[in-house]
Every structure is written in structure tokens, then in C-alpha cells.
Structure 1
């Protein structure tokens, strides 16, 4: 009877900050879908079935992790009650407000706006206040419990002698379908330091582009974007330790080009044949928080043009690494030509 009354899921983490830093990587959507399994928690955010972000909080991130798969019976079955109760349902899934969960995890001031994009800033920049971990010498713990389907997700935070309990409403699962990505037929695979790609996306965003074009050949990887404000190109050479960033802004018909050196160092470079595809820039821009927290990023594309960005993030507490995955559906037809059309109209004016 005690086992029957125990919650479906309960876990304790010694670092609410680590959970916050991982989940904020997919904070572009108002709701996230949560799937609980024996291996951990999978959080998935999506936008219009063309952008998907996923964070997996594996059980190793928690000091204790207990999961009891909910049992269900088949009403029309002729089996006995005991046999029906032995039937195990699929892993439970529900939706939750992602902003509310993030606000809860940082309720003790685990992050500040200035340090939001720097997961190691707490130790690196010397910033401390009266409530920082370095001053208090403690690490806020986090307990997460989900009793059963229909119940709220209960988050209990403890810091020193203060305990805060928050019940977050759960919703019916979102109508999400994973964006298909064929790992067996890759036309592009590049592994590089995340900071290089972060700098490249930041540089390209200066022209406020609508789309990002990713072009690869057996010798180089090129990211380009353009708008009425100008154009920018970032090129990484396969055999070079430096990437060449070429920027050209054009607002009045006169080009103003500058070239500067940026770090390249592509650890893995596999492009069997030329590849070129465009993606919505704002979608790719949503991954900047993950890029800022990650140490490495794997850039992959399959034969359908679906882009996958997988970020490796080093865990602050206890070592190890976690992964955040993004998938992007490419622009097709008129979508890909929309930016060029806008530029031509601006030039005619």
C-alpha cells in the first residue's frame, strides 16, 4: 500500500543553479513538455514545428532519483485485476510553464542578468554579494516531486534555514512531433568550440537579417546573412587555425567592408560534398543562450537539410557534462528568397 501511495517521481539536486542554467537554454517558448523516465527528465520546447530545443536532465545530476512508472489497466481486458495493474503505461508526459519553472529555480537569486550568459562567472569575475554562494559557503538544494497525473509539479528550494515550496500547474501534453533528423545520412558534421559559433552569430546579427545561410564545401564552412542594412560573412577554413570574418554593410549604396581574424580550429570537419541551406535567423538566434553556456558545439545537417546543433555543457557541480539539442527546419522556396526580394526593393527605392 505504501508503494502504491508513493509519488510517481521525486528527485533531489544539490544545485538548483545547474538545473536553471540548463533549462534556460531552451527558454524561447512559453511552455515545455516534460517526459519522465528511469534515465531522467526530458524537457522539449518547440515553435511551429520548425524549431525544437531539448534538454535532458539525466539522473546523475541528482543526488537522489526515484521513479515509479504509473500503472494502468485496460477496461475491456478479461484479465484479473492483479494482471491489469501489472501493465505499465508509457513514460508519463505533461506540459509546464517554462518561465514559471525558471523563476522558481532562481528564487534565491541564483543568477543575475549580467552573469546570465556566463555559467562560470560566479567564480571568475570576483562578483560576490551577501547572498552569494561564495560568501555563504553553501549551495542551494532543490527537491522536485510529481505525485501523479493531474497533480502539480512541486519544487522545494532550500537555502541555509530558508525553505520555499512552489506548486507549478501541469497541463495536458503538447501536440509535439520530433523534427525528423537522419543521423545515418549526414551531409555536414563539424565540431568546434561553442564560443566561435557564438561570436559568429553575434557578428551576423548586426545587420538584422531574416535568414542565415549555411554553406559548406570540403575545405570550408561559411555562415552568411544579409539585409537592407548590409551583409556579413563568417568563414571557417578546414585546415586553418583562424576563421576569417568579412563584414560588409551597405545602407546607402556605398559598401564599407572590414576584415578581421577570428578563432577557427574546427575539431571535426566532415563535408563529403558541397552543401548550402538557409534557415530563419531568429530561430538560430534562440540558441545563443546555449552557445554561451556550452564549451563545444556539434553542427550537423542531414540530406533533407534539417540542421542539428548539439551543445556540450560542463556541469558546475560534481563534474560531468550535459547536452542540449536544437533542430531547425530549413527555409524552402519563397521563404528562402524573401530576404533577397526585400533587398532588391530597398535598392530600387
Structure 2
């Protein structure tokens, strides 16, 4: 019988791992799934908000499973402790927050003289020897080696990651919008200044406001960020269709009853949990289904990964993805949150094509 560990991975830097995991660390407890495509981490809060990211195998110089056909049961770890371990040699906010104007991590001559930036030449090794064993993190840099054995916690035998995720019905989407992540980050930051309790997402391709985010219930009153329209999307019997200038893709397919407008309410404090992902990403994809479940999928540039590779998401390499899902508020003012118009159309897009188009 082989004594080889179930899983071993080696990364030449812990910076990319730290940056991605930090974006979903709003809850200390994270579920880890080891798959042939990479390490998936998922956090949630009262099943009202859920975040996940895949540390794609392309982020590692070596990624080995002792049995490619074996299924490794998921387990739970303390993601805060993991982040502390990954930054043991000084990764800090200053090192992980430098990004290009369009988003994504990039190098900076100013950051090159910071101690964290100088420490990117080390290695990070992750080992999982057997089910129930600790997750072993070994970080080595300039001849200094630090090893941390993190306790893992078994999940119920009947635990199913797919069944425990907040469901998004991709066959019944009423909204799909792709836009620069900094535009969303700026809008949420502006609305947060009024201490709003509720975020209202409103969109229509035929009636103004075409795309708006509204903050309601704050002590300083309500506020709205209205994304200005650009031009008509096409000229075939859709002259009224208008696309907001900030968006790259704008598709609204409201169900019958509200004159072509999609409108839904969410708890603002939950939306703010995605703030770090908004600041780090280059693009974001909004998707909302008929039940009001909202998916914000963030694309994060990874210049260290070859663009010729193919990620586990089916898109080009050089990118990682962070997915947030939110459950809508129910009750007052929701009677007309969804609507349909005979002119509205929807073309189904697979999750892998949400951003990497």
C-alpha cells in the first residue's frame, strides 16, 4: 500500500492564494473541496450569502493527487488561520492591493521596495495525507521554513457541496450584465456612505432608469447610483433598447407583469461582504434568476498564469474567479420585482462563459 499523501501541491508564491482567499473570508469557517481541477473554498452566512473561489491547479507549479479517480470528501477548516499562515513572511494589504486601473493584480515599481514584494520568491507547499488528517502548509523563503498543521473538521456523511450551495437557475435568468468591477465598487462605496440597510437592483432595457443601484433605509436618507445609457443595442425592431455605457453585456429578460423591469432587494450588509472582491477584480458578471437569487462573479487577473492555458472554468488561463451568491429579501415592495415584456429576449449562457467571453 502506498504511503503517498492524498494530495500535494506546490506554489512558487503564496500571494495569489492569499489574495483570492481573503476575498471570501467573511466567515472563519470554510469548506474545502480537493478536486482534479484545483482547491475550492466556500464560505457562507446563514445561507443568505455564499462565496466560493477555486485555487486553480494552474496557480501551482506542481499539483498531484495520489488517485485521480478517487473522491476526497470535503472538509472544514479555519480560513482566518490559513490566511495568517500564508502571510507569515509579510504579505500585507499593501502587497495584495496593487492593481491595474482596470482591476487585477499587477506589479508596481513603488511596491518593489516593500518587504512583502521582495518576498515573492519563496514556495508554498500544501499537503493532505489522508482523510481526517491536518492540512499541512509549508512555506519556505530564503532558507527559512515554516510548517503549520491546520486542523480539519469532518462534515456530515451525507454532505453534498452542490446541494448546499445557494441555487442559481441558469435556465431562468432575468438579468445578465458584465461591467468593469471598479464601477460596481465605486457605486457600492458611494451608497455605503449613507449607511443604507437595503440595496435595490433595478434594470430594464426599454425604460429608464436602465440600470440603477439604490440604497434604502439609511439614517441619512435614500440614495441612487444610475448608470447612464449609451446607445441602442441593435436596429432590428429594438430601437428602444438602450445599454448603459458602463456595461459590456446587458441582457434583461423580465417575466410577465412588470413592464419589462427587473427589480430585487438585498440586505446591504451582505452585499458589502464582496467589497474586497470588487476591489481586486477587473470585471464582474451580474446574473439574477426568476427567484431573485443574485450571482456576482468576479474575474481576477493572474499575470503569472499563462494565457494559453485553460482554467477549470473552461475559459482562458491568466484569470481566477470569485463567485458570490445572495438570497433576496422577501416581503414588502416585492410584488412587482419581476416582469416580462414581449420584446424582451434572453439567450442562455453557460457559467463558464459568464465573464470569459
Q: Which TM bucket (shorter chain)?
A: 0.7 to 0.9
The answer (yes or no) to whether the contact 1:190–1:268 under 8 Å persists in 2 is: yes
Query: Displacement, 1:128?
Result: 4.4
Instruction: State whether structure 2 residue 265 is matched by structure 1 residue 267.
Output: no
The answer (yes or no) to whether the contact 1:196–1:264 under 8 Å persists in 2 is: no
Instruction: State whether structure 2 residue 199 is matched by structure 1 residue 212.
Output: yes
The answer (yes or no) to whether the contact 2:98–2:107 under 8 Å persists in 1 is: no
- Structure-2 residue corresponding to 1:95: 76
Max Rg structure: 1
Instruction: State whether structure 2 residue 8 is matched by structure 1 residue 6.
Output: no
Point out the structure with the larger strand share. Answer: 1
Count of aligned residue pairs for this structure pair: 294
Instruction: State whether structure 2 residue 49 is matched by structure 1 residue 51.
Output: yes
- Structure-2 residue corresponding to 1:127: 111
CA distance in structure 1 between the aligned counterparts of 2:72 and 2:66, rounded to whole angstroms: 10
- Structure-1 residue corresponding to 2:18: 20
Identify the match of residue 174 of structure 2 among 174, 177, 187. 187
Taking a change above 3 Å as real, the CA distance of residues 336 and 140 of structure 1, as seen in their structure-2 partners, is: farther
CA distance in structure 1 between the aligned counterparts of 2:194 and 2:295, rounded to whole angstroms: 24
The answer (yes or no) to whether the contact 1:156–1:166 under 8 Å persists in 2 is: yes
Deviations 1:207-228 (A, max 9, x none): 1111100011115111000222
The answer (yes or no) to whether the contact 2:95–2:116 under 8 Å persists in 1 is: no
Instruction: State whether structure 2 residue 98 is matched by structure 1 residue 118.
Output: yes
- Deviating runs (4+, > 6 A) in structure 1? none
- Structure-1 residue corresponding to 2:349: none
CA distance in structure 1 between the aligned counterparts of 2:149 and 2:176, rounded to whole angstroms: 42
Output aligned runs, 1:1-349, within 5 Å: 1=1, 4-69=2-67, 90-112=71-93, 114=94, 116-119=96-99, 123-124=107-108, 126-129=110-113, 131-134=115-118, 139-173=121-155, 177-219=164-206, 220-226=210-216, 227-239=218-230, 264-273=245-254, 274-319=261-306, 320-333=318-331
CA distance in structure 2 between the aligned counterparts of 1:277 and 1:296, rounded to whole angstroms: 22
Query: Displacement, 1:105?
Result: 0.6
RMSD: 2.4
The answer (yes or no) to whether the contact 1:211–1:336 under 8 Å persists in 2 is: no
Deviations 1:322-347 (A, max 9, x none): 1110000000015979xxxxxxxxxx
The answer (yes or no) to whether the contact 2:15–2:96 under 8 Å persists in 1 is: no
CA distance in structure 1 between the aligned counterparts of 2:115 and 2:108, rounded to whole angstroms: 17
CA distance in structure 2 between the aligned counterparts of 1:323 and 1:66, rounded to whole angstroms: 22
| TM-score normalized with structure 2 length | 0.77
Query: Displacement, 1:232?
Result: 1.3
| TM-score normalized with structure 1 length | 0.78
CA distance in structure 1 between the aligned counterparts of 2:333 and 2:42, rounded to whole angstroms: 26
Point out the structure with the larger helix share. Answer: 1
- Structure-2 residue corresponding to 1:74: none
Query: Displacement, 1:53?
Result: 0.1
Deviations 1:284-317 (A, max 9, x none): 1000100111000001100110000000001142
Where does structure 1 lack aligned partners over 5 or more consecutive residues?
A: 71-87, 242-262, 338-349
Deviations 1:260-306 (A, max 9, x none): xxx95210000123100000111110001001110000011001100
